[in-house]
Structure 1
Amino acid sequence: GDLNQKFVLEAKGEVAALAETINDMTDTLRTFADQVTTVAREVGIEGKLGGQAKVPGASGTWKDLTDNVNQLAGNLTSQVRAIAEVSTAVTRGDLTRSITVEAEGEVAALKNNINQMIGNLKDTTDKNTEQDWLKTNLAKFSGMMQGQRSITSVAQLIMSELTPLVDARLGTFFIVDDSQELSMIASYAFSERKNLSSKYKFKEGLVGQCAFERKTILLTHPPSDYIRISSASGESPPANIIVLPVLFEGALKAVIELASFKPFTQNYLNFLDQLMDSIGVILNMISSSMRTEELLQELKKSNAELEAQAKELEDKAKLLEVKNQEVELASRSVEEKAEQLSLISKYKSEFLANMSHELRTPLNSLLILSKTLEENKDHNLSPEQVKFASTINSAGQDLLALINEILDLSKVEAGKMPVDPKGVKIAQVKDYLEQTFRPIAGHKHLEFKVSADASVPKNMITDENRLQQILKNLLSNAFKFTETGGVTLNISTLKKDRRFNIDTLSNAKTILSFSVKDTGIGIPSDKQKLIFEAFQQADGTTSRKYGGTGLGLTISREIARLLGGVIEVESTPGEGSTFTLYLPQNYIGQDVSRVIKPEQEFARPELPPQADFTGCKVLVVDDDMRNIFAITSILENQGMIVSHAENGKIAVKSLKNDPSISIVLMDTMMPEMDGLEAMRAIRKIPEFEALPIISLTAKAMKGDREQCLEAGASDYITKPVDAKNLLAMMHFWLKKDAQVQQVQA
């Protein structure tokens, strides 16, 4: 390997030439080796590129070897320098460069890896740049929109900033109202045209469709005549149109439309998508703020109005206080009047009760004795005397009817008249009235006809006694005031088209009418309302000529109201009158089960023909000797043994002295000890707890019977006493007492 050695020969000729050739070759080889070593050292150890091997005089193979070494060094230099240059550019931030030098093998792989790395780095940098741009501009818009108080102002601000930012050249901003209509409130480079609208309904156009679907619509390559972006220099159609919904919590707030000469990049689309959320929040805040402001203004206005009203109310309160004082004074006056009226009503009731007692007490003996004389069981009176007795009894009955009418009116006015609704056969009512008034018609030589239409139902629900009372009053008046002609009673059903001012008739399915028509004196039209008032007749001469108290129609009208009906009158003076009672077929009133006559709680048996009172001891307690005499005559005629006491105190003493007394007839109003107190005293004595006591009273007001029963009476009967009813009641209680004693024995 020592190339410094040379051939040294002492020769000539070809050998000398060969030695010289070998020495030249050795020199060339040494030079080549030195050059190659130098290039290798510079590249491999010193890192110097661009070196070349220089072998002077090399030719042939040596020249080729030198050229190959130099080519290898040159290729390596160009490749490394290319890589270094690109790397330096990348280091300085230029990511557009790439290694383009040709290479093979591992160098080629290195080149490709570096190029790929540069590409990845460029993509990452681009993405980061886009994100920075997106975040920066979102923050910019968020800050820019903060503090805005007007939707129109913020909409115009968005259009002015957003449109150029995303390389758009035209923009519109539509707000949605309560009627689901979109109205343009802001724009950018928008020109009004005939075919373009500034208002849209849902599903109308792309704006309306976007609002309906709440989704972004991207239109690429629209037709050239679709819309044009214009400037002073000219106009051109856009390449892209995007329509975006602005939502807040799913609710549509607005729609934004943008048009651009070039397609919107993905970064722009992402930015717009995120910006719409921010705009939705801002619009909602502004709307809420505006609504709050409106409410605040309304509140201020309301407060001002309330202050004015408060002042007005204060004034009114003062006035009201004065009025209240006046009302209080008036109220006190009314209370005093009410107390006076209550006292008057109490006095009236007491007066009626006392009047009833004072009238019924003598009337009791009068009716009993006159009836006894009329019956003439001993046949010791002449026919004329019997007629006198009958006349006395009839007059007494008329007086009793008058008393009953006055008491009925009092009960009606106090609202204490009971109603007993039940099934009523209309045919029986019709027959009863015909039998009752047929003799009167015959006596006055008047025609009398009772009829019922075919449409009339067989039954109705009402109080039969009250119905008969009304119709008897109407028929009695008709016969009273009719001298010639006749009286008719017609029962029919009313047509549906008739209207009444009373709910019971308006709501009734079927209405019955009872019309009483006469050919009597008639009633003037100005007197037709007056006749229904208490103690009133058409004129004074009527009362003097025909008699009567004028209470019948008043009582009839009030009873008709109790039954849910009305009475109407039609009349012509000199021709006659028609009184019509209208009633619902089915009574509509209080709970039927609760409206029961008190008398229904106790039996009213008939007197059996075989009833025997012989030897029965009766104590009659009454302070009026006339009553004692009259009742005693009835009882003794039945074989009873009668004793009497003038007051309750004597009665209690009499019972103690004679415990064999079978029954007591007790008056209620007596001096020293009244009947109620006496009955309580008797019931306290054990041996008289079950003794039959029948209360006889001339009182007939509501509550009298209950007081008697609570005091200890077994039963109750009002004066004037009907002999048959009294005997039947006595027989019932004597029989019941006998059964009790038999069981106890």
Structure 2
Amino acid sequence: MGLRITADDPPAENSAVIGQRNEPPSGDADLRRLLAGLTSVRNGDFTTRLPVDGSGLVFDIAVVFNGMVDQLALFTSEVTRVASEVGTEGILGGQASVPSANGAWRDLTASVNSMASNLTGQVRSIAQIATAVAGGDLTRKIDADARGEILELKTTINAMVRSLRETTRANQDQDWLKTNLARFSALMQGRRDLEVVADLIMQELTPLVSAQHGAFFLAEETRSGTRLRMIGGYGCAVDGDPPRTFRLGQSLVGQAARAQRTIAVDDLPPGYVTISSGLGQAGPTSVLVLPIVVEEQVLGVIELAGFTPCTAIQRDFLDQLMESIGVNVYTILANARTDVLLAESQRLAAELQARSEELQIRQEELQISNAELEEKAALLATQKTDIEAKNLEIEQARQELEARAQQLATASRYKSEFLANMSHELRTPLNSLLILARMLAQNGERNLTPKQVEYADVIHSAGSDLLQLINDILDLSKVEAGKMDINCEPVQMRQLLDYLDATFRPLTAQKGLEFRVSADPALPAELFTDESRLRQVLCNLLSNAVKFTESGFVELRVELLDPSPAAAEGRVFGPALAFCVGDSGIGIADQHLETIFGAFQQADGTTSRKYGGTGLGLSISRDLAYLLGGRITAESEPYEGSVFTLQLPVVHPGIGDPGPDSGELSAFLLQQGFGPGSAAPYGKPADDEVLKGRKVLVVDDDARNAFAVTSILELHGMDVVCADNGREALDLLVRTGDIDAVLMDVMMPEMDGYAATAAIRADAAFTHLPIIAVTAKAMPGDRDKSLAAGATDHVTKPVDADELLDCIRRSIAGG
């Protein structure tokens, strides 16, 4: 049937089913219902339906219309759902499902799903990369296809990740560089043997930079010019092929030294050098030759070979490390030259002394000759002129002797001042090093690995060895200057022997030696002497015995002596003891028995000697024995052992002789305030409750020492405030007013410790404030000078933590 819609046709009403009216069906009515339905669909209403109760074309149009509306409703619902999930709810992965869609509807559905899928893939890819970056994974990037602003976002995020990855790698490289520079600096610190330093460097450096072969060449001056001799290696023998000594310009080693520039060679030919192990061997592909230069002076060369070239950060590390190695090698060489100069100075002093004695003898001979000439003056008038000339020579010799003596006194004074200043300069860094190393070794927070604790122990041990060497040199200076103080006290024999047994039994056990300690049953229970000096002498003798004994035994015998022979020599008074230290070691030849007691002397003093040491121990021990009123004797046979005997009086002769009877000795000690059950002068320790909550002012211009001391005090519950100098300390005291004690460094700028202590004492408010002087010079008279300035007590650097805490306890309790 034919249908026609005209402009005069009235619009159909919008309802659920168009045409459900009480009017008879007609063609115009069907058209109006169709128009109304189409209008509703155009306006977005997909609930409109046409009745399907007719037949023919109208029925077909209604079915098609209703199917179209259902299709549009389903498509709209699915598209709206997907858009809502993706755009509003943030749910990705949704797809529109319109199974009956065909043609353009199917293409439109596929486009919507493609859009949702692309957006899902892009967002999820960005999310995955963001999650990986947040977790520290900087190796990934966004690979999803994108265009427009999404492509710009993808490019920006990938660039950000790449920049972050490069920055992180650069930071890691710098951290690795700085950490290893610090580690090598600590490794070389305090070393004095170049061959040991070279070996340590090669053992640590070669694997660190992924090399498999390494050699350390030291520059030495010879008659034929500068030579580079190999003194340390990694993966290769120090002596053997190829040659281990080169001239300047010879081979790449000599060329690097001459040009003072690093030489790098990659793609080495086969057979250049062989790196081998127990499983095989192969040739390296790269060689790096680095000169060690300080102030345009070549000190050595390090050569490294490996299967892969060094990275840029490794090259930068090696360049900086060469400067640090150069400084340390230069310092070791300078120390060696200083030792030589010191020995030469002592030799010259000995020659001056011999010359002085020779001149004295000549003067005495000339005086005798002059007397004889005066008696024969009448007969030998013609010889008067000669005699006057000889007298003039004598006077000139005397003046020369006085001038030489003045020079010697000046040199001795300079040496004492030099040792005092060097003591301060060495003890100041040692103070913080020993304190912090000990705190690390104690691992109070339990955050260090056993290996790190072992490193701290090694650092503390090395620092302690250096401190002992400083103390030995200062003791020698004190003895030579006649200013060594002896502080006598009652010494319990049993405690002394137990201390020596506990100290040396582990050392002998470690070497597989038998250690024997025996004492005469008739020994007195105690003797009166300087315990610390006595321990110093005995520890030195026992240490030497352990050092020079490879197998067999080391023993300590204490015997009661008949005082008559020693008393005849004027060295021992009253009851006397003999401390005999014997061993089955290498022994000493007769011609060396006396020289070993000289300063810096050893039985084997060559540079290739098997046993190390400074040669100061026996010299100081002999002088200390003399100051204690005794002496040291030695008996030895080469390869059969030695016996060193320390003879001491039971009571030091400097305080009087109470007599040989042990009962009288005990009575004398009781009169002096000592004896069984007597208290130590300070009462030689209190609970930490004495320290907890106390406020201490630490005055020190060295931040390292202030940090180390502060760490110790805070561990014991103390509050710590710090000042850089004496003037700042005065200001803090006046402002704070609640300081319980002051730790005052002696040597500081602006106002030193002496002046600051005197200024504090000048204020009546601080008359009884405990002030503990801290000095690194440790020379004779320092303690008296500190006490005279107003200090309560005095300690020396490096500060022993227990000694410092005991000193603070005593000072606070006394104040």
TM class by smaller structure: 0.5 to 0.7
Match of 1:649 among 727, 730, 751: 727
Unaligned runs of 5+ in 1: 1-304, 738-745
The answer on 1:357 being equivalent to 2:435 is no
Equivalent residues in 2 for 1:516-531, closer than 5 Å: 516-531=581-596
Q: Report the counterpart of residue 728 of structure 1 in structure 2.
A: 806
What per-residue deviation string (whole Å, max 9, x for no partner) do you get for residues 103-145 of structure 1? xxxxxxxxxxxxxxxxxxxxxxxxxxxxxxxxxxxxxxxxxxx
**1:703 lines up with 2:799 in the alignment:** no
* 8 Å Cα contact 1:522-1:574 kept in structure 2: yes
Q: Which residue of 2 aligns with 1:451?
A: 518
SS at match of 2:769: coil
Say if 1:605 and 1:729, in contact at 8 Å, map to a contact too. no
Pairwise CA distance, 1:327: 3.4
Q: Write the mapping of 1:400-411 to structure 2, written as runs, cut at 5 A.
A: 400-411=467-478
Letter paired with 1:636:
E
SS of 1:504 mapped into structure 2: coil
Alignment of 1:66-465 (within 5 A): 311=378, 322-454=389-521, 456=523, 458-465=525-532
Q: Distance in 2 between matches of 1:658 and 1:587?
A: 49
Amino acid at match of 1:360: R
Give the counterpart of 1:490 among 543, 550, 557.
Answer: 557
Instruction: Establish whether residue 550 from structure 1 lines up as the match of residue 615 from structure 2.
Output: yes
Shift of 1:716: 1.0
CA 1:565–1:674 in 2, change beyond 3 Å: closer, same or farther? same
**Which residue matches 2:535?**
468
* 1:18-61 CA distance string (max 9 Å, x none): xxxxxxxxxxxxxxxxxxxxxxxxxxxxxxxxxxxxxxxxxxxx
The answer for the alignment partner of 2:601 in structure 1 is 536
Note the C-alpha offset of 1:425. 4.6
Is 1:618 aligned to 2:699, yes or no? no
Please state whether the residue corresponding to 2:653 is helix, strand or coil.
Answer: coil
**1:545 partner SS:** coil
Q: For residue 13 of structure 1, what is the aligned residue in structure 2?
A: none
Secondary structure at the counterpart of residue 418 of structure 1: coil
Write the letter of the residue equivalent to 1:666: M
1:339 offset after TM fit, Å?
A: 2.2
Q: What is the deviation of 1:693?
A: 1.5
SS in 1 for 2:425: helix
1:579 aligns with 2:644: yes
* Cα distance, 1:376–1:343 mapped onto 2, change above 3 Å: same
Task: Quote the residue 2:764 is aligned against.
Answer: 686
d(CA) in 2 for partners of 1:729, 1:460 = 26
Q: Give the whole-Å Cα distance in 1 for the aligned partners of 2:695 and 2:574.
A: 58
**1:668 paired residue among 739, 746, 750:** 746
Instruction: Quickly say closer, same or farther: Cα 1:660–1:315, change in 2 above 3 A.
Output: farther
Are the aligned partners of 2:571 and 2:631 in contact in 1 as well (CA < 8 Å)?
A: no
> Which is higher, the Rg of structure 1 or of structure 2?
1
Q: 2-side partners of 1:627 and 1:544: how far apart?
A: 38
Which amino acid in 1 is paired with 2:687?
A: P
- Match in the other structure for 1:205: none
Note the alpha carbon deviations across 1:203-222, whole angstroms, 9 max, x for none: xxxxxxxxxxxxxxxxxxxx
Residues 620, 326 of structure 1: alpha-carbon distance in 2 compared, 3 angstrom cutoff: same
Match of 1:564 in 2: 629
Which secondary structure does the structure 2 equivalent of 1:666 belong to? strand
Distance in 2 between residues matched to 1:573 and 1:491, nearest whole Å: 24
Secondary structure of 1:489 counterpart:
strand
Give the 3 Å change call, closer, same or farther, for CA 635–419 of structure 1 in structure 2: closer
CA contact (8 A) 1:524 1:572 kept: yes
Alpha carbons of structure 1 residues 529 and 637: separation in structure 2 relative to 1, 3 Å: same
Q: What is the deviation of 1:655?
A: 2.6
Q: Provide the C-alpha distance between the structure 2 equivalents of 1:306 and 1:727, rounded to a whole number of angstroms.
A: 74
* Cα distance change on mapping 1:495 and 1:617 into 2, 3 Å: closer
Q: CA deviation at 1:719?
A: 1.0
Which amino acid in the other structure matches residue 409 of structure 2?
S
Q: Secondary structure at the match of 1:503?
A: coil
Distance in 1, matches of 2:786 and 2:387, equals 53
Q: Please give the alpha-carbon distance, in whole angstroms, between the structure 2 residues aligned to 1:306 and 1:366.
A: 71
Q: 1:666-709: per-residue Cα shift (whole Å, max 9, x none)?
A: 11111222111222222223323332221111110110111111
Q: CA separation of 1:504/1:638 partners in 2, compared to 1, >3 Å: closer, same or farther?
A: closer
Q: Distance in 1 between matches of 2:763 and 2:613?
A: 50
Q: Which amino acid aligns with 1:537?
A: Q
Residue 555 of structure 1 aligns to a residue in which SS? helix
Indicate conservation of the 8 Å contact 1:607/1:724, yes or no.
Answer: no
Specify whether residues 339 and 496 from structure 1 end up closer, same or farther in structure 2 by C-alpha distance, changes over 3 A only: closer
Q: Secondary structure at the match of 2:689?
A: coil
Q: Shift of residue 562 of structure 1? A: 1.9
More divergent stretch after superposition (642-651 vs 313-322): 313-322
Q: What is the rounded CA distance, in whole Å, between the counterparts of 1:329 and 1:714 in structure 2?
A: 53
- Report the counterpart of residue 296 of structure 2 in structure 1: none
| Distance (whole Å) between structure 1 residues aligned to residue 784 and residue 541 of structure 2 | 33
Q: Deviations over 1:639-675 (max 9, x none)?
A: 3332222222222233333333332211111122211
Task: Please say if 1:634 is aligned against 2:712.
Answer: yes
Counterpart Cα distance in 1 of 2:541 and 2:420: 28
Hey, what's the Cα distance between the residues in 2 that align with 1:725 and 1:466?
A: 18
Q: With the length of structure 2 as denominator, give the TM-score of the two structures.
A: 0.48
Number of equivalenced pairs: 426
Q: Matched residues in 2 for 1:438 and 1:585: separation?
A: 26
Instruction: Tell me the amino acid that sits aligned with residue 713 of structure 1.
Output: A
| C-alpha contact 1:604 1:729 (8 A) present in aligned 2 | no
Evaluate the alpha carbon distance shift between residue 345 and residue 662 of structure 1 in structure 2; reply closer, same or farther with a 3 A threshold: same
Q: Which runs of 5+ in 2 are unaligned?
A: 1-371, 658-670
Report how far residue 516 of structure 1 moved.
1.4
Shift of 1:570: 1.8
In the TM superposition, what is the alpha-carbon distance from 1:514 to its structure 2 partner? 2.2
Distance 2:433 2:381 in 1: 74
The letter of the residue matching 2:737 is P
Aligned-partner SS, 2:610: helix
**In the TM superposition, what whole-angstrom CA distance separates every residue of 1:287-310 from its partner, at most 9, and x where no partner exists?**
xxxxxxxxxxxxxxxxxx999767
CA displacement at 1:477 relative to structure 2? 0.5
Q: CA deviation at 1:401?
A: 1.4
Change over 3 Å in CA distance of 1:366–1:581 after alignment to 2: same
Identity percentage of aligned residues: 53
Shift of 1:499: 7.3
Q: Please, what TM-score do these two structures have when normalized by structure 1?
A: 0.52
Cα distance in structure 2, aligned partners of 1:312 and 1:559: 58
Describe the shift of the 1:450–1:542 C-alpha distance in structure 2 as closer, same or farther (beyond 3 A).
farther
TM-superposed deviation, 1:542: 8.2
**Cα separation, partners in 2 of 1:312 and 1:501, compared to 1, 3 Å:** farther
TM-fit CA distance, 1:578: 1.5
| Aligned residue among 512, 530, 544 for 2:577 | 512
Range that drifts further, 351-360 or 570-579: 570-579
Q: 1:300-352: per-residue Cα shift (whole Å, max 9, x none)?
A: xxxxx999767479899876654443333223222222222222222111111
RMSD after superposition: 3.4
**Distance in 2 (alpha carbons) for counterparts of 1:684 and 1:435:** 49
Larger RCO, structures 1/2 (Cα 8 Å, 6+ apart): 1
